[in-house]
Amino acid sequence: MQWIWQQKNWPRFSYESAALEELEAQFLRQSGVVVGTLRHIESDAKNDLVVDLISTEAIKTSEIEGEFLNRDSVQASIRRNFGLDASGKRPTPAEQGIAEMMTALYQTFDEPLSDVMLFQWHRMLTNGRTDLSDIGCYRTHSEPMQIVSGADYAPKIHYEAPPSAQVTDEMAHFIKWFNASQSIPPLTRASIAHLYFECIHPFEDGNGRIGRAIAEKVLSQNLGQPTLLALSHAIQSKKKAYYANLEQSNKSLNLTDWITYFAETILEAQRYSLQLIEFLIAKTKLYDRLQGLLNERQEKAIARIFREGLEGFKGGLSADNYMSITDASRATTTRDLADLVAKGVLTKIGERRYTRYWLAINNELRGK
């Protein structure tokens, strides 16, 4: 079997541009909607949105690799990186490192890609690691860089990257291509850049997270501003499909199928980001309407629910959740929740111990 980098014309990729035209047009249309919607958000609220989206990306890009981070810690680190007020749990080195890398990606999106930039990202990403030989540089180990599954006695090799001795030259070609490729339509360029980088797999660890950051850098450069894109969230929600498409695409230089898959994933991420923006606008409207109408316990509970984002509490807010958040008695909890329903803050579903509550912001989202 020949891997993609072993083929004669590597890295001269081909694809059917006509098959991608509608996806590219859809991205530009949705980008216009996102930019237009953002204009309705005040600066403080926009800061909250930026922090929320970046922290979501930081958490989800790590989760794809099997690393689970504390949201409050990551968010506090990102707020500090932006010079905003921050409080909360002290971050672990991994949480601080991914927060720094995602902040750097946001702040330097328009700068050319370089070895120096990638090495900085890698050092941030591997903050606190003691198990790696090569940190802040390309891999140097002599053994093959393989993606393997299965038992040690019967491993299945999903992919083998170029030998370490070739990585420096491969990355020089990749970086040159990346910085000269801005005329390629954004979804196509982001898809190629991500796969091209993953095929080289230049680092001892962290290639997936850096590769997804590279795709976001492409899209930001096209828009002329940070994308605020929930790309890793979209990938994590269908992780098996992501890895399956990567594997199917590591043997052929024709990337039409890969670009189609990755472009559709980007569009899904873009739609989710727009939902988050609309959610924030609805949150602002709701707070404006309720100013002075909630007691301290209710304010604390509603703030906690909003922190869960679009999905809210898994399975909905229960009376026990409310009691845990507010330290209220059961009788007080019953009164508070009934009052929140009456004021149109929460929607009640179910009866007795199956009762659950959800934020009632549908009217806010419709601008009513």
Residue 115 resides in a domain: yes
Task: Return the pLDDT at 259.
Answer: 98
Q: Are residues 273 and 303 in the same domain?
A: no
Helix (H, G, I), strand (E, B) or coil at 368: coil
Q: Are 111 and 117 in contact (CB under 8 A)?
A: yes
Residue 120 resides in a domain: yes
* CA atoms within 13 A of residue 23's CA, in its CB half-sphere: 24
How does residue 364 score in pLDDT terms, banded at 50, 70 and 90? Answer: very low
pLDDT at 362 > cutoff 90: no
Domain boundary among 278, 310, 343: 278
Alpha helices (H) along the chain = 21-38, 43-64, 71-81, 93-107, 115-125, 164-180, 186-200, 207-223, 231-237, 239-248, 256-290, 296-307, 319-326, 330-342, 362-365
Task: Return the pLDDT at 276.
Answer: 85
Q: Are residues 231 and 134 in the same domain?
A: yes
Range with the poorest average pLDDT among 198-207, 212-221, 344-353: 344-353
Q: How many residues does the chain have?
A: 368
Q: How far apart are CA 113 and CA 102, in angstroms?
A: 15
Neighbours of 350 (CB within 10 A): 11
> Residue 257: is it exposed, middle or buried by C-beta count within 10 angstroms (0-12/13-18/19+)?
middle
Mean pLDDT of 180-201: 98
Q: Are residues 91 and 231 in the same domain?
A: yes
Residue 290 resides in a domain: no
Residue 284 resides in a domain: no
Q: Are residues 273 and 322 in the same domain?
A: no
Q: How far apart are CA 308 and CA 324, in angstroms?
A: 15
Q: Of the ranges 72-86, 186-200, 349-363, which is most confident?
A: 186-200
Token pair 């994308």 in the structure block, residue: 227
Q: Are residues 137 and 214 in the same domain?
A: yes
Task: Return the pLDDT at 280.
Answer: 82
Q: Are residues 66 and 206 in the same domain?
A: yes
Question: How many structural domains are present in the chain?
Answer: 2
pLDDT at 357 > cutoff 80: yes
Q: Are residues 192 and 319 in the same domain?
A: no
Q: How far apart are CA 283 and CA 275, in angstroms?
A: 12
How does residue 10 score in pLDDT terms, banded at 50, 70 and 90? Answer: very high
How does residue 365 score in pLDDT terms, banded at 50, 70 and 90? Answer: very low
pLDDT at 252 > cutoff 80: yes
CATH code, domain carrying 90:
1.10.3290.10
pLDDT at 368 > cutoff 60: no
pLDDT at 339 > cutoff 50: yes
Task: Return the pLDDT at 88.
Answer: 66
Residue 76 resides in a domain: yes
pLDDT at 90 > cutoff 90: no
Q: Are residues 70 and 102 in the same domain?
A: yes
Q: Are residues 129 and 246 in the same domain?
A: yes
Residue 285 resides in a domain: no
Domain boundary among 225, 250, 278: 278
pLDDT at 155 > cutoff 60: yes
Q: What is the mean pLDDT of the chain?
A: 92
Q: What domain range includes position 355? A: 295-365
Domain boundary among 250, 278, 306: 278
Task: Return the pLDDT at 366.
Answer: 39
CATH code, domain carrying 340:
1.10.10.10
Range with the poorest average pLDDT among 182-186, 221-225, 306-310: 306-310
Rounded (10°) angle between helices 207-223 and 256-290 = 70
How does residue 147 score in pLDDT terms, banded at 50, 70 and 90? Answer: very high
Helix (H, G, I), strand (E, B) or coil at 309: helix
Task: Return the pLDDT at 367.
Answer: 42
Range with the poorest average pLDDT among 123-127, 175-179, 195-199, 359-363: 359-363
Q: Are 327 and 286 in contact (CB under 8 A)?
A: no
Helix (H, G, I), strand (E, B) or coil at 212: helix
pLDDT at 363 > cutoff 50: no
Residue 143 resides in a domain: yes
Task: Return the pLDDT at 28.
Answer: 94
Q: Are residues 234 and 318 in the same domain?
A: no
* CA atoms within 13 A of residue 119's CA, in its CB half-sphere: 11
Q: Are residues 225 and 322 in the same domain?
A: no
Q: Are residues 269 and 341 in the same domain?
A: no
Q: Are 179 and 110 in contact (CB under 8 A)?
A: no
Task: Return the pLDDT at 154.
Answer: 82
Instruction: Give the rounded percent of residues in the chain with a pLDDT score beyond 90.
Output: 75
Residue 156 resides in a domain: yes
Range with the poorest average pLDDT among 193-197, 212-216, 305-309: 305-309
